Structures are given as C-alpha cells and as structure tokens.
Amino acid sequence: MTAPLDDGALDQLFRTARTYNGYTDKPVATEQLNGIWDLMKMGPTSANMLPARLVWCVSDEAKQKLAGCAMDSNASKIIAAPVSVVIGMDMEFYELLPELFPHTDARSWFTGEGKEQFRRDSALRNSSLQGAYFILAARALGLDTGPMSGFNNDAVDAAFFADQPNVKSNFISTLGYGDRSTVYERGPRPGFDRFNTIV
C-alpha cells in the first residue's frame, strides 16, 4: 500500500501550482524533456493506446512558427517561453495496439465501418489525459507550464504534422521556470458540494 504524499508534494502538484504566462531566463535541458515523457507515459490510457504525439519547440524558428498559428496574446507567450509544446493526437493510434496492448486483439475494437467517432473520441480523450500527465510531470520535476487553446488547429497541423496527416493538434503549452509576477489571481475553486454528487 502506498502512503499519501506530504503537503509539500501536494502543494507543488496542485495547491500552490499555477498556470504561468511568463518565465525566467533559466533554460530547460533536453534531459528534462525526456524526464517529463518518462513520467507522463506511465499514466493510464485506454488499452495503453498512448495517442499523444508531442512536438517540443525549443528553437526560435520553431517557436516563431507555432506563434504564427496562435492568437496575438498567446503568440508572445509562446515566443518568450524556453520551450513551447504541441500536444497532438494520433488518429490512427489503433495501428500500434498490437505492440502496446498485446493481451488481446484491441486493434479490432477501433477498425471497421461506423467507428470513426469512437476513434476520434478515444484519441481526444486519451491524448487529453496525457496532456494532463504532462502538466503534472513537469510540476513534479520542478518546472511550470502554461497550457492554452487560442490557436488555429489546422494551421498547427499544417506546420508541424504535414508529414503525419493522421496526427492532429489537441492543445499547446509553454514550459519553463515560471515567473511568479506573471500569474493572475487564482480563480474560484468551489467546494465539493457545488459540483459533486454521491449516489
């Protein structure tokens, strides 16, 4: 049996963690990007499908390209961040299921007529889960994130997944060591009774 995390860990992952709009000049190493993946890949997805495909924009050229696909207020954040990340989703994730979920013929669950919406829903749901694991993994390793919408998905797909037409963008995020002066006042977080029902 595992023990509950201490308050320091809970604060770092959830209670005092924030979404950042800007970062310090401290760089993020490639080894840290590998470390984030090595944690986030361990989070559960349906049939271990792992549909997320990440593009880590580290170069100025890549960040400028991504910024060109985003609304103005997000573009400046993307360019200024040490790293900006595209979290994509492989719509043909099921082709890897014989490798990733060899216990049974899981590929057949997603192929055939009339399963297009099921495939899309599965890719979106599970890549979104992996995006959340990305945020928590970054926080666990002492980094901060700024996940965002506010971009043109078709433009991002053309810019970063042109050679992989089966991959579509889900959301994007900045990554680095957060500048505390750039966070907004925390929005309301209602108590249990507001949004929860026990039946």
Looking at residue 1, its pLDDT comes to 73
Looking at residue 129, its pLDDT comes to 98
Q: Is 12 buried (19+), middle (13-18) or exposed (0-12) by CB count in 10 A?
A: middle
What is the rounded (10 degree) CA torsion for 95, 96, 98, 104? -80
- % of residues, the chain, pLDDT over 70: 100
Mean pLDDT of 15-29: 97
- Mean pLDDT over all residues of the chain? 97
CB 7 within 8 A of CB 105: no
Element (H, E) at 24: none
Q: Over the stretch 29-71, which tens digit does the pLDDT of each residue have?
A: 999 999 999 999 999 999 999 999 999 999 999 999 999 999 9
C-alpha–C-alpha distance, residues 137 and 143, integer Å: 9
Q: Over the stretch 81-120, which tens digit does the pLDDT of each residue have?
A: 999 999 999 999 999 999 999 999 999 999 999 999 999 9
Task: Give per-residue burial for 82-109: e unless 16+ CB within 10 Å, then b.
Answer: bbbbbbbbbbebbeebeebbeeeebbeb
Looking at residue 153, its pLDDT comes to 98
Q: Does domain 23-181 have CATH number 3.40.1190.20?
A: no
